[in-house]
């Protein structure tokens, strides 16, 4: 237990290199210029009813697939727009105009389907768009999560339990309390995510949003955050009770909560990188 705690403490204490080491300098009131790439959807939705309240009438498969694509396209555009608005109101960031980013992407022949840009492409993108960094956003869960994500979440619950135990040990110096705290945290996570993927999706309307910030000076990632968010019941209570089960409303509320998590984390990280 002692060695596990030491290793975890070192892991927790280790942080990424400062942004300035990657050529991204934050010196307020000068802001970091960010080119936000179009949000990519990495979710496979087979049924329209999973993301939208629809009648029980049978829909032609081809038409249903088209409606799903249209709905997801609308959502990804909304995500990009929400993030742009939030960052433009940030003390630390300035968003490169969308048209400027689109023109830069077009000139380099980069499509929104490109997941892994090479460092040279990122550098060139920065030169053309005059951006200090690019931001990528991927929607990896929308109203449902893949089985592999459930496994990851259960795994992260185990890790969180061990980390929680390590933190208790650092404060109390008691192995007994540390072990008890770790076990309690792990059990809570298993209960939370081990109820079955179908039931979980229905009750919690989960959304997974993955975001990264990459320096255009060296093409290296300087920040990343995965927001796994379940429905915001507190916000839902502001709406009439009859509307609270509406899938579109629940997803909208959850999505906004996800974006708030992403922006809050990014601003916090930026505040630690002021020169």
Task: Read off φ and ψ for residue 135, nearest 5 degrees.
Answer: -120, 125
Integer Cα distance of 97 and 78 in angstroms = 16
Which residues lie closer than 8 Å to 139 by C-beta, 6 or more apart?
39, 40, 41, 42, 43, 72, 75, 76, 79, 207, 208, 209
Q: What is the pLDDT of residues 94-140, one digit of tens each?
A: 999 999 999 999 998 887 666 578 899 999 999 999 999 999 999 98
Integer Cα distance of 122 and 240 in angstroms = 46
Domain boundaries, the chain: 30-143+207-227+247-270
pLDDT of residue 193: 54
Average pLDDT over residues 163-185: 60
Highest mean pLDDT among 43-52, 74-83, 180-189: 74-83
Integer Cα distance of 141 and 229 in angstroms = 9
Confidence of residue 4 (pLDDT cuts 50, 70, 90): very low
pLDDT > 90 in the chain, percent: 44
pLDDT of residue 7: 42
pLDDT top residue among 187 and 58: 58
pLDDT of residue 192: 56
Q: What is the pLDDT of residues 20-36, one digit of tens each?
A: 999 999 998 999 999 99
For domain 30-143+207-227+247-270, give its CATH number from 1.10.3470, 3.40.50, 2.60.120, 1.10.287: 3.40.50
Which residues lie closer than 8 Å to 118 by C-beta, 6 or more apart?
219
Average pLDDT over residues 237-262: 87
pLDDT > 70 in the chain, percent: 69
Average pLDDT over residues 152-173: 57
Q: Does position 201 have pLDDT exceeding 80, yes or no?
A: no
Confidence of residue 208 (pLDDT cuts 50, 70, 90): confident
Which residues lie closer than 8 Å to 110 by C-beta, 6 or more apart?
117, 121, 125
Record the tokens describing residue 43, joined without a space. 């979710």
């Amino acid at each position: 237990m002692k060695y596990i705690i030491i290793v975890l403490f070192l892991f927790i204490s280790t942080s990424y290199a400062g942004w300035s080491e990657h050529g991204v300098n934050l010196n307020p009131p000068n802001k970091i210029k960010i080119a936000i790439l179009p949000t990519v959807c990495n979710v496979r939705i087979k049924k329209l009813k999973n993301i939208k309240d629809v009648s029980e009438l049978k829909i032609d498969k081809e038409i249903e697939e088209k409606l799903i694509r249209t709905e997801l396209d609308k959502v990804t555009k909304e995500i990009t727009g929400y993030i742009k608005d939030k960052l433009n109101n940030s003390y630390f960031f300035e968003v490169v105009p969308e048209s400027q980013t689109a023109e830069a992407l077009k000139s380099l022949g980069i499509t929104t389907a490109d997941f892994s840009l090479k460092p040279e492409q990122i550098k060139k993108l920065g030169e053309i768009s005059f951006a200090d960094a690019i931001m990528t956003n991927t929607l990896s869960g929308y109203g449902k999560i893949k089985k592999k994500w459930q496994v990851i979440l259960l795994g992260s619950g185990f890790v969180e339990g061990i980390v929680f135990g390590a933190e208790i040990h650092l404060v109390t110096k008691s192995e007994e309390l540390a072990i008890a705290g770790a076990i309690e945290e792990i059990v809570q996570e298993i209960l939370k995510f081990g109820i079955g993927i179908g039931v979980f999706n229905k009750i919690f309307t989960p959304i997974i949003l993955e975001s990264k910030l990459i320096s255009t000076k060296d093409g290296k990632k300087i920040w990343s955050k995965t927001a796994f968010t379940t429905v915001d019941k507190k916000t839902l209570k502001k709406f009439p009770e009859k509307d609270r089960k509406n899938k579109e409303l629940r997803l909208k509320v959850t999505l906004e909560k996800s974006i708030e998590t992403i922006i809050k984390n990014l601003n916090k990280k930026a505040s630690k990188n002021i020169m």
